[in-house]
Structure 1
Amino acid sequence: MELTQCHNIVINTPGYIQNFGYLLGINTQNLSIAFYSQNLADIFGFNSNIINQSLNSINCFNSIAEHPLYREAITGHSDKVKNSGRITLNHQEYHIVVYTYDHFLYIELEQVILADNAEQKALKNVKNLISTKDGNQIWNTLVKDIANITGYERVMIYKFNADATGRVIAEEKNTDLESFLNVHYPESDIPKQARQLYLKNYKRIISDVESQPVPIISAIPDIDLSLSGIRAISPVHLQYLKNGRIASSFSISIIINNELWGMVTCHHSTARHIDLDGRILSEIATFIAANSYSSYKASLALSYDKQLSKSCFELKLQLLSKNNFKDSIFEHSALIHMLSETDGFAALIDGQIISIGDTPDNKLISSIAHWLQSQSHKGFYFNHSFYNEFSTELGLDKNCCGIASCFLNEAQGDLMIWFRREYKDHINWAGRPEKEIAMLNFYKEEKLTYSPRQSFAIYCEEVVNKSRPWRKKDIQRLQKIKEVVDQTAQEFLYKTERANKDLNFLNEELKRVNEELDSYSHTISHDLATPLTVMKLNMQLMAKYNTDQPTIDKIHNVLNEIDNMSEMMNNVLRLSRLKHSEYNFQSIDPADIINKVCLDSKLTYNEDVEIHIGSIYPVIGEKSLIQQVFQNVITNAVKYSSQKETPQVSIRSAVEGDWIIYEIQDNGIGIPYESKHDVFKVFNRMTNSKSFFGNGVGLSIVDNIMKKLGGSVDFESVVDSGTTFYLKFPGS
């Protein structure tokens, strides 16, 4: 005999109904009787087979044919909509439910047993759900309300996990019962076909597991009872309930965002039937709770989205502050890691790896990257059981029990990987998951299938070698980060393409400017040489024939400045004709240069500026170039802090390997963030410097000289707080 798997059991066409209900099926094409339950004759008293007879031709069905719900249904305006009302048959009041499905009109009957005031009493409890705002409290309120409505001994909220297993998250029970709160149930307890059915039909009751089902009489095989409220239940599930000492059960689907989020599950140790009105009221209460919870989660999600968007915007600003994509990702890897809320982060770009936090070593990261590329995971890849599945194949350590990854450039192998450490957990299951093979009676047909477990005693499973699962919020967060990184890459690509388009034009323009500068340098040196010579001769004559010592000292100062200017002009003329390799680089102590620039700057802008000079180390360079660098940077520091109440400038240097780093700091007006990328452009002035004299050339000269010297210049600045310039000179 072939083994019937649980997930292959057909549950929507059992051919039977439960014995508390009655079923009549009408062919919508000709209004003839297509099928009916065997017990229908108990109400209407017919003796012969009525299949294919017209409903209107059978007198005992006049009350059905004349009922408003039936009249509305045959007009075709209520397809798949279950309309319910009441009907009196033989002095007995019944619930009547009418709906059309798959070319048939279904009429279901069951006796009314709910007292008139019970519904109003229960409705007061349901109103509590509307005012409940806290997410967990919503479900705690719901189980109490449904326990009051149904009188069941145990009412639980069963939430589905991502893997279709479930967990009890709220419970209302009699005090003498063992609690199932936080107990987990395997996927097979509510198999796939059952979950699909719960998306169509939101409530299902089993009044008595020992009751005998009623056969459906029909000439048509496999009558679909997917929407029926009186459908007979699979014998496998009935055995499951019996093994758990459950005599009656009632379930309601919890639908959130059109998905089966969970179930309200009610159990009773003895047979118990709930009137249809009570079941509908329980369904309404569940619907209200689901909507309240959905609104609660939407509010949390909106708040989270706002904060995440803000954080990602700040990340984008930081990433765009660098000059190229790889440097941007590498230098801000700590920020990406922090925003991801993972244990470790690694990026592989252009064959280079940066990692931060708890990650494997670079060799293992490279192996994981190659594996991901070989698997063609083009989008995101999430796995919280990565170590469990691939530790032997890839030689993993427990820093990568869980990983998430995404490619930035699959062709080049550029990608980002996030890591999670092992998270040891204990899961309480409702009984051991093992099942036994047994023969079960499927409505008078014996079938070999897996028998439900005999015991529901709590079984504790220890979970190891796995990380915390990747939740929706985790996935959303990493997708947002990836989106920001992609946008940054596009920005850099656009800048590169734009720069390439202008490159030829700029090269030609630079050639022209260089030629003009050479000519200009020669002209200035030649045109200024004669007047300077005349000035020097006149000053020398004045010194020779003047006997007043203070006047003589001033004349000598002027002569020194004339000599300095002549030397500067000669150097400029000489340097403009030299190539980089012809510079006469030597070790230069800039102390005298710095002291003189400081003195001159104070005399020019504000003698009250406090200048603190720390350690001064010699640098490698050409004296006139070094002088121009310090002249421009220190003068700017003094100038732009001169209007402060207590202007301060500090100058110090330090040795870092083969480099000498000079740090020149002021407490001046600062540089606006939006002007950051324009600081070293020629003839560029900051938006907040209009009240100061200048032509916007100085820092451009500094940038070019530092490049010629084989060094660099950078800065940090805060508006209204000051600026710090960093000059990086070769030290040897």
Structure 2
Amino acid sequence: MSSNTFSYCENLKTNNFSCIQEFGIFLAIKKNDFTIVSVSENISFIANLKALDLIGKDLTLFICDKSKEKINKIKSNLEETSVNLNYYVSDISFCFSKNSKTLKECYFYQKDTLIIVEVFNEYNSKENEIITSLVSNFNRSLSLPIYEDDEILAHDICKLVKKITNYDRVYYCHFGEDEHGYVIGEAKNENCDSILHHHFPASDVPFIVRNLYLRNRMRIIPNADYKEVKIIGEIEQFNLDLSLVRTIGKTHIQYIKNMGISSSASFSVTNGNRLAGLIGCHNYTPKEISLYIMNKLSNLIEHISTKIEINTLKKNSIYRDEILKEFINHFVNCSCHLENMDESHFLGLQNAVKFDYIVFGNKNKIILSKQLENIVPETEIKKLINELNKGKIFITNEVRKYNNFFNGIANFSGVMLFNVEDKFGDFIMFVRKEQIETLKWSGNPNDYNESNGQIGPRKSFETWYQEVKNKSEVWNKSDKFYFDKIKSLISEERSKYLSNLEINNQNLQEKNKQIEVLLSEVHHRVKNNLSILNALFDWKIREAKNSEVTSTLKEMKSRVSSISLLHESLYQENNYGVMDLKKYIQNLSIFTKSIYKDTNNLDIKIKIPTNTKIPLQQSLPFGLIVHEFITNSIKYAFKSIEKPLITIEWNESDKNVLFSLSDNGIGCEDLLKDGRKSIGIELIKMLIKQLDGLLEWNGENGVKIDINFSKRKCSWLEMKL
């Protein structure tokens, strides 16, 4: 549809006129004294006076006493700014001569210092009672559950309006977010073609006209071939945006004639400050309805507007809020990280926001609906996100405009995308597939005949079909509202999660400090108790007379001392979870070597990688194994060896760890097979079993023991830091 069409339509004058339609009478009176300043020439129909004869006269001179009270009250109401109504309808009794009285329906509104009075046909009390009853009954029925369905409500209001007015066709045209119209309800005579589910281009009701329809919510054209009646008086031209009798623009009149109708009326359906729809009435012959009926129907349709707005709010809140709550629970259970979620967690959201597929994740991991996995490469998804996602919600129903790769991919036509938080790079993208749609328009929206700079109205209601491809269904306001709500809820929950995580970490740090203090005290006391035990050994050693007993006591003391050294290291380092193996073995070797005489030339090489750490529970067995090996080597291996050497090694592969202890002494037969009992050997075997290790003995060129640990079997190896 060309922009020229819109600009032309928007520039049409809609409310400044100096003439009216012939079915009504126009009067403009001063607000302060009711002096008539302007009047339409057809006043003679009820006054038997010429219009010029009434200029300057007090209108109340021609009104009966009871009606004077009504006019004064209407004047007060119009001056009261707190009153929402901008017009009033009342029956007024005119008496332009002593012997003639006529009761007319009148329509009042104000313009600056003037009150405008538009006079219509005679008041019919019996007909009005019937109308009141029908409208009241329908009003009461609006609370029925059936009317939570907008289309059922639209059909039934059309039936009621047709019953009351007897127009040939009554229809309800809903205006979508793209401002195009779509007929969702209809009541008609059998000889009328149906326009149900027809589309109307937005240019049929330009925005300048929509704004007028928001102020004046009822309009009537009794006869498209009406004769204009001139307004005379002090003011030649009025702003008649609230008028019911104003003349109609030539373009609109031709538009009506192109439909083949002679008479029309319409009522505005509003949603806040937006024209949400029109209830239109068509007749193929001239037709006039009373002002009373117009006003009653307008008031009823105000209630219909409220009902439709409530229906929308209900759909958008109660049910969908429960769906969002369930999704957020999934999000929280996944530690508030999208990468921990899967596609099934999003399926419920399809009942809140209409989408076909889901793409979500972050810069490191992207998860797609299974239907998209073999269609859209992850690289193209990343390109699209980088192009579209600027920290705000991005919405399009034609994604190919932004990345040509998606041109022709039917399953990826529309997207709604947002970043959860820039810090994490998490995102959610709802995807809609292509919706190939054949739109049924009431006339070709591009068919405007232009000549001499004027655009003639198209032939409306002449069905025209348009096929639309490469687009998804348009995302509506409700989709956007709930998408934004999802974003807000996710951000809120993540903020809570991070806040709680920080608090928990602080609490854990405090507890760890307390535990460390306690453990420090425990290790200190254990070390002190072991020192007391060593003192007892020293006492017994001094008392012992037998050299064999003395030797045994010294060995026992050295073992206790090695245990004491472990607790002393832990106490000094303030690290109670793991032990630095290399540092511990170095200290233990120095201590064990110091126990015995003539060990100055003994070299102990420790080939353990720096920062090799093992859990505390395994540290003591390792220390005792090393202590026993060094002790035995010093006692038995180095007779006649000039340069004694002990080597301790740690070699790690993907599946195993090999811990080796060796010396360059005289060697020794395999004590494991020999069967002889030795406290040291038995202790080593017991400790290796405790560590889930496998022992191998080689005593040919010195003694070497290999202890093999399988990572699969020894879970403590995976705990080392």
Are residues 525 and 22 of structure 1, via their aligned partners in 2, closer, same or farther at CA, if it must alter by over 3 Å? farther
Aligned partner letter, 1:469:
V
Equivalence for 2:589? none
Q: Which deviates further from its counterpart, 522-531 or 465-474?
A: 522-531
Q: For 1:525 and 1:92, locate their aligned partners in 2 and report how far apart those are by CA, in whole Å.
A: 123
Please name the residue that 1:229 is paired with.
244
1:81 aligns to 2:87 (yes or no): yes
How has the CA–CA distance of structure 1 residues 427 and 584 changed in structure 2, closer, same or farther, with 3 Å as cutoff?
farther
Which residue does the alignment assign to 2:170? 155
* Alignment CA distance shift 1:729-1:19 (3 Å): same
Q: Structure 1 residue 15 and structure 2 residue 30: aligned?
A: no
Q: For the residues of structure 1 that align with 2:329 and 2:582, how far apart are their CA atoms?
A: 46
Match of 2:113 among 96, 103, 107: 103
Match of 1:330 among 336, 339, 349: 339
Question: How is 1:294-443 mapped onto 2 (pairs within 5 angstroms)?
Answer: 294-319=309-334, 322=335, 328-332=337-341, 334=343, 337-341=346-350, 342-347=355-360, 349=362, 351-357=363-369, 360-373=376-389, 379-387=392-400, 389-392=401-404, 397-410=409-422, 415-438=427-450
How far apart in 2 are the matches of 1:477 and 1:513? 53
Residues 710 and 42 of structure 1: CA distance in aligned 2, closer, same or farther (over 3 Å): farther
- 1:619-643, CA deviations, whole angstroms, 9 ceiling, x for partnerless residues? x987954999xxxxxxxxxxxxxxx
In the alignment, the residues of structure 1 paired with residue 618 and residue 529 of structure 2 have an alpha-carbon distance, to the nearest angstrom, of 18
- Would the alpha carbon gap of residues 196 and 622 (structure 1) be closer, same or farther in structure 2, given more than 3 Å must change? closer
Q: Deviations over 1:634-667 (max 9, x none)?
A: xxxxxxxxxxxxxxxxxxxxxxxx899xxxxxxx
Aligned partners of 2:14 and 2:209 also within 8 Å = yes
Structure 1 position 481 matched with structure 2 position 489? no
Q: Work out the number of aligned pairs and report it.
A: 558
Task: Assess, with a 3 A threshold, how the Cα gap between structure 1 residues 228 and 330 changes in structure 2: closer, same or farther.
Answer: same
8 Å Cα contact 1:406-1:417 kept in structure 2: yes
Question: Which consecutive unaligned segments of at least 5 residues does structure 2 have?
Answer: 81-85, 538-558, 586-612, 622-653, 657-708
- Contact 2:173–2:182 (8 Å) recurs in 1: yes
Secondary structure in structure 2 of the residue aligned to 1:111: strand
CA–CA distance in 2 between the matches of 1:627 and 1:121? 100
Structure 1: gaps spanning 5 or more residues? 440-446, 533-564, 586-619, 629-657, 661-708, 713-725
Q: Does 1:283 align with 2:298?
A: yes
Mapped partners of 2:236, 2:583: distance in 1: 100
Cα distance change of structure 1 residues 570 and 17 upon mapping to structure 2, 3 Å threshold: same
Q: CA deviation at 1:175?
A: 1.6
- The residue that corresponds to 1:34 in the other structure is 37
The answer on 1:244 being equivalent to 2:259 is yes
Query: 1:452: how far off?
Result: 1.3
3-state SS of paired residue (1:5)? helix
Structure 2 Cα separation of the partners of residues 512 and 121 of structure 1: 89
Q: Deviations over 1:399-432 (max 9, x none)?
A: 4421212233458866433322222222211111
Larger C-alpha radius of gyration, 1 or 2? 2
Q: Alignment identity in percent?
A: 21
Q: Does 1:264 align with 2:283?
A: no
1:153 Cα deviation from its structure 2 partner: 1.0
- Over residues 90-122 of structure 1, what are the superposed CA-to-partner deviations in whole Å (9 max), with x where a residue is unaligned? 444321222223332010101127572464167
Q: Name the stretch that deviates more: 306-315 or 152-161.
A: 306-315
**AA at the equivalent of 1:23:** F
Task: Deviation per CA, 1:310-337: give whole Å up to 9, x if none.
Answer: 3255245324xx3xx6xx2210253663
Secondary structure (helix, strand or coil) at the match of 1:155 reads strand
Structure-1 separation of matches of 2:58 and 2:66: 7
2:56 counterpart of 1:53: yes
Q: How does 1:54-73 map to 2 (within 5 A)?
A: 54-55=57-58, 61-63=62-64, 67-73=68-74
Structure 1: distance between partners of 2:717 and 2:175: 60
In 2: Cα distance, 1:150 partner to 1:494 partner:
64
The residue that corresponds to 1:202 in the other structure is 217
Tell me the CA shift for residue 176 of structure 1.
Answer: 2.4
Deviations 1:362-410 (A, max 9, x none): 322222232235xx5x5422222333x3344987955442121223345
Mapped partners of 1:140, 1:166: distance in 2: 16
Q: CA deviation at 1:437?
A: 3.4
Letter in 2 for 1:362: E
Per-residue deviation, residues 689-713 of structure 1 (Å, max 9, x unmatched)? xxxxxxxxxxxxxxxxxxxx9999x
* Deviation, structure 1 residue 155: 0.8
Residues 527, 564 of structure 2: 8 Å contact kept: no
Which position in structure 1 is the counterpart of 2:476?
A: 471
**Cα distance in structure 2, aligned partners of 1:48 and 1:125:** 38
Q: Residue 426 of structure 1 aligns to a residue in which SS?
A: strand
CA gap of 1:395–1:64, structure 2 versus 1, over 3 A, is farther
Q: Spell out, residue by residue over 1:588-623, the C-alpha distance to the aligned partner (whole angstroms, 9 max, x if none).
A: xxxxxxxxxxxxxxxxxxxxxxxxxxxxxxxx9879
Contact 1:156/1:168 (8 A) holds in 2 = yes
Distance 2:223 2:710 in 1: 90
Please state how far the C-alpha of 1:73 moved relative to its aligned partner: 3.8
Q: Which amino acid in the other structure matches residue 204 of structure 2?
A: D
CA 1:112/1:399 → structure 2, altered by over 3 Å: closer, same or farther? same
**2:398 is aligned with what amino acid?**
S
Distance 1:73 1:495 in 2: 63
Distance across 2 between alignment mates of 1:191 and 1:469? 21
Superposition deviation, residue 215 in structure 1: 2.3
What CA RMSD, in Å, does the superposition of the two structures yield over aligned residues? 4.5
AA partner of residue 42 (structure 1)? F
Q: Residue 637 of structure 1 corresponds to which residue in structure 2?
A: none
- CA gap of 1:92–1:54, structure 2 versus 1, over 3 A, is closer
C-alpha contact 2:437 2:467 (8 A) present in aligned 1: yes
The aligned residue for residue 687 of structure 1 is: none
For residues 561 and 483 of structure 2, the distance between their equivalents in structure 1, rounded to whole angstroms, comes to 61
| Separation of aligned partners in 1, 2:24 and 2:76 | 25
Aligned-partner Cα distance in 1 for 2:298–2:28: 25
The 1-side partners of 2:532 and 2:344 are apart by 57
1 CA distance for matches of 2:534 and 2:45? 128
Looking at structure 1, the residues matched to 89 and 287 of structure 2 have their Cα atoms a distance apart, in angstroms, of 25
Check whether the contact 1:21–1:108 (CA below 8 A) recurs between aligned residues: yes
Secondary structure class of the residue paired with 1:70: helix
Q: 1:127 aligns to what? A: 137
Deviation sequence 1:451-479 (CA, Å, 0-9, x none)? 11125322222222112222333223322
SS of 1:485's partner is: helix
In the alignment, structure 1 residue 453 sits paired with structure 2 residue 458: yes
Give the stretch that moved more between structures: 421-430 or 285-294: 285-294
Gap change, CA 1:180 and 1:505, over 3 Å in 2:
same
Q: Measure the CA separation in 2 of the matches of 1:308 and 1:531.
A: 74
Aligned-pair CA distance for 1:227: 1.3
Deviation at 1:15, TM superposition (A): 2.5
Kept after mapping to 2: 8 A contact 1:31/1:55: yes
Instruction: List aligned pairs for 1:301-700, cutoff 5 A.
Output: 301-319=316-334, 322=335, 328-332=337-341, 334=343, 337-341=346-350, 342-347=355-360, 349=362, 351-357=363-369, 360-373=376-389, 379-387=392-400, 389-392=401-404, 397-410=409-422, 415-438=427-450, 448-454=453-459, 456-495=461-500, 498=503, 515-516=520-521, 518-520=523-525, 522=527, 579-580=579-580, 582=582, 625=618
